[in-house]
């Protein structure tokens, strides 16, 4: 078996592994980095991402973390002439509540003490002070949050929304990027710094003076030695940890999305990423409801469903496609190569999304043929915070559990991981995003008790 040495081996070439390799390779120490993966880069979970980003979270640590990531994405956008197609029309969180006191309290908690000044109220007659998201340009977009309750603004700026909506929380540091472009950019930079991608699966990791890593290829095995191993194996972070004799507190939960050509123009091309915060019962006809209720396997579709269904235009102002998603599944499962896509999901998510954007009802029972239905696993901790930092094994690091926020958080994850590996100064929140947080019992209790874990 041939063997060669690299300074750092990164397991996994999704957006997280590439971001780790990118920030590691950029350091002044210029380490030799190899990324190992049996699949083409960016082809597993990272290919299923909705590619949205936001700094809206129920806890200030996650707000700081994603703000840090957004700073880094903006730096790459500036450096690369916006190769990653970064936009910033915001997130529009809609509710029918006229007095959403709990939501406002959560907003204040999430943005922390410093954020309070960034929350702007737009009650009746305040339309002059609100800036609609006319431009997608991230550089000129406002920061903070606009709480819009003025009827005139709601109807003018969110014309496709259900007229029962009384409040829109417009999160302004939010939008979308092309995750694939970000991944390609990082890959080029890794290669330019003498880094490489090795096509193969890590099947064994031994630890003596350094790591000995057995890599299985289609018809052969090779071996690699490395001083440092970074576990960025996405849904398989648990399996790779097991190769080191470790267990990680993570589960995998399957989530789905659809994208289709909005041939009827139901969704305005300037609409921000829009989320219906309110729960609902899905809009079936009486006959459909009766059929679904009869069958024990489909009865749940007639029960109360959670909020957070989302919709956005895809492909810019000249495009026609839209994306819909609803992360209502909460049951962990073992990742399978054949994804468990539910053939009923397109109609379910369409019906759900039509509550906020009733124009979508035109597609009931007749979704366009040009439709893509896809999915992937949210690899999550119970508290829905990531794991970034040292593992128990000396020299091994984890960069995983990025749930439904790995595209937006990849840059921060890579930069933090590089900081841990190189022993550099880290932001104050870094320790809380590592395995060390499990020693902080009061923090863990408060995180696990919180009803809102920021799953979207």
Task: Tell the smallest beta-carbon distance from residue 52 to ligand FAD (Å).
Answer: 4
Of 98 and 337, nearer to ligand FAD (C-beta) is 337
Here's the x/- map for ligand FAD, 97-136, by CB under 6 A: it reads as: ----------------------------------------
Q: Does 201 bind ligand FAD (CB under 6 A)?
A: yes
Give 61's contacts (C-beta < 8 A, 6+ positions apart). Answer: 385, 429, 432, 433
Of 83 and 373, nearer to ligand FAD (C-beta) is 373
Q: Does 233 bind ligand FAD (CB under 6 A)?
A: yes
**The binder of ligand FAD chosen from 10, 23, 34, 50 (CB under 6 A):** 50
How many angstroms separate the CA atoms of 225 and 244, rounded? Answer: 14
Size of the site for ligand FAD (CB under 6 A): 41
Task: Tell the smallest beta-carbon distance from residue 150 to ligand FAD (Å).
Answer: 29
Q: Does 313 bind ligand FAD (CB under 6 A)?
A: no
Here's the x/- map for ligand FAD, 365-394, by CB under 6 A: it reads as: ----------xx-x----------------
Here's the x/- map for ligand FAD, 255-274, by CB under 6 A: it reads as: x-x-----------------
Of 12 and 90, nearer to ligand FAD (C-beta) is 12
Of 339 and 367, nearer to ligand FAD (C-beta) is 339
Task: Tell the smallest beta-carbon distance from residue 261 to ligand FAD (Å).
Answer: 19
Q: Does 406 bind ligand FAD (CB under 6 A)?
A: yes
Here's the x/- map for ligand FAD, 9-48, by CB under 6 A: it reads as: --xxxxxxx------------------xxxx----xxx-x
Question: Is 195 exposed, middle or buried, given 0-12, 13-18 or 19+ CB atoms closer than 10 A?
Answer: buried
**The binder of ligand FAD chosen from 55, 95, 189, 236 (CB under 6 A):** 236
Of 72 and 202, nearer to ligand FAD (C-beta) is 202
Pairing label, strands 167-171, 145-148: antiparallel
Task: Tell the smallest beta-carbon distance from residue 348 to ligand FAD (Å).
Answer: 14
Of 36 and 154, nearer to ligand FAD (C-beta) is 36
Where does this chain touch ligand FAD (CB under 6 A) — which range of 100-108, 234-242, 290-298, 430-438?
A: 234-242
Task: Tell the smallest beta-carbon distance from residue 276 to ligand FAD (Å).
Answer: 16
**The binder of ligand FAD chosen from 111, 363, 405, 429 (CB under 6 A):** 405
Give 124's contacts (C-beta < 8 A, 6+ positions apart). Answer: 149, 150, 151
**The binder of ligand FAD chosen from 402, 412, 416, 430 (CB under 6 A):** 402
Task: Tell the smallest beta-carbon distance from residue 289 to ligand FAD (Å).
Answer: 27
Q: Does 414 bind ligand FAD (CB under 6 A)?
A: no
Q: Please, which residues bridge with residue 376 across strands? A: 255
Q: Does 346 bind ligand FAD (CB under 6 A)?
A: no
Where does this chain touch ligand FAD (CB under 6 A) — which range of 90-98, 123-131, 218-226, 404-412?
A: 404-412
3-state secondary structure the chain: CCEEEEEEEEECCCHHHHHHHHHHHHCCCCCCEEEEECCCCCCCHHHHCCCEEECCCCCHHHHHHHHHHHHHHHHHHHHCCCCCCCECCCEEEEECCCCCHHHHHHHHHHHHHHHHHHEEEECCCCHHHCCCCCCCECCCCCCCEEEECCHHHHHHHCCCCCCCCCEEEEECCEEECCHHHHHHHHHHHHHHCCCEEEECEEEEEEECCCEEEEEECCCCEEEEEEEEEEECCHHHHHHHHHHCCCCCCCEEEEEEEEEEECCCCCCCCCCCEEEECCCECCCCCHHHHHHHHHCCCCHHHHCCECCCEEEEEECCCCCCEEEEECCCCCCECCCCCCCCCCCCHHHHHHHHHCCCCHHHHHHCCCCCCCEEEEEEEEEECCCCCCEEEECCCCCEEEEECCCCCHHHHHHHHHHHHHHHHHCCCCCCCHHHHCHHHHHCHHHHHHHHHCCCCCCC
Footprint of ligand FAD (CB under 6 A): 11-17, 36-39, 44-46, 48-53, 201-202, 232-236, 240, 255, 257, 375-376, 378, 400, 402-408
């Amino acid at each position: 078996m041939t063997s060669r040495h690299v300074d750092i081996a990164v397991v996994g070439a999704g957006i997280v592994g590439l971001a780790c390799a990118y920030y590691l390779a950029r350091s002044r120490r210029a380490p030799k980095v190899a990324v190992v993966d049996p699949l083409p880069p960016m082809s597993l979970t990272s290919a299923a991402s909705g590619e949205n980003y936001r700094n809206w979270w129920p806890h200030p640590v996650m707000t700081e973390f994603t703000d840090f990531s957004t700073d880094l994405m903006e730096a790459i956008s500036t450096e690369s002439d916006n190769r990653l197609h970064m936009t910033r029309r915001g997130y529009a969180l809609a509710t029918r509540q006229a007095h959403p006191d709990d939501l406002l309290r959560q907003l204040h908690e999430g943005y922390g003490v410093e954020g309070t000044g960034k929350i702007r109220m737009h009650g009746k007659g305040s339309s002059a002070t609100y800036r609609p998201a006319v431009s997608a340009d991230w550089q000129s977009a406002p920061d903070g949050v606009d709480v819009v309750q003025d009827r005139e603004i709601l109807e003018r700026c969110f014309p496709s929304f259900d007229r029962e909506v009384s409040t829109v929380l417009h999160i302004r540091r939010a939008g979308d990027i092309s995750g694939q472009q970000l991944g390609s950019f990082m890959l080029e930079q890794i290669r330019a710094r003498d880094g490489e991608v090795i096509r193969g699966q890590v099947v064994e990791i031994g630890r003596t003076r350094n790591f000995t890593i057995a890599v299985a290829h289609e018809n052969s095995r090779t071996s690699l030695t490395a001083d440092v191993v970074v576990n960025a194996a996405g849904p398989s972070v648990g399996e790779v940890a097991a190769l080191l004799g470790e267990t990680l507190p993570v589960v995998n939960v399957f989530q789905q999305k659809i994208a289709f050509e909005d041939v009827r123009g139901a969704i305005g091309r300037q609409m921000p990423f829009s989320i219906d915060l309110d729960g609902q019962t899905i809009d079936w006809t009486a006959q459909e409801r009766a059929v679904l209720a009869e069958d024990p396997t489909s009865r749940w579709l007639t029960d109360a469903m959670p909020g957070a269904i989302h919709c956005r235009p895809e492909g810019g102002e000249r495009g026609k496609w839209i994306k819909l998603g609803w992360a209502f599944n909460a049951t962990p499962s073992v990742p399978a190569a054949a994804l468990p896509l539910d053939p009923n999901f397109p109609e379910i998510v369409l019906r759900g999304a039509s509550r906020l954007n009733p124009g979508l009802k035109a597609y009931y029972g007749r979704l366009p043929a040009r439709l893509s239905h896809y999915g992937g696993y949210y690899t999550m901790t119970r508290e829905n915070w990531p794991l970034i930092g040292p593992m128990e094994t000396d020299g091994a690091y984890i960069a995983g559990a990025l749930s439904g926020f790995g595209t937006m958080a990849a840059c921060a994850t890579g930069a933090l991981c590089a900081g841990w590996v190189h022993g550099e100064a880290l932001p104050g929140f870094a320790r809380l995003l590592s395995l060390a947080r499990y020693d902080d019992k009061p923090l863990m209790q408060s995180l696990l008790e919180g009803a809102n874990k920021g799953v979207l």
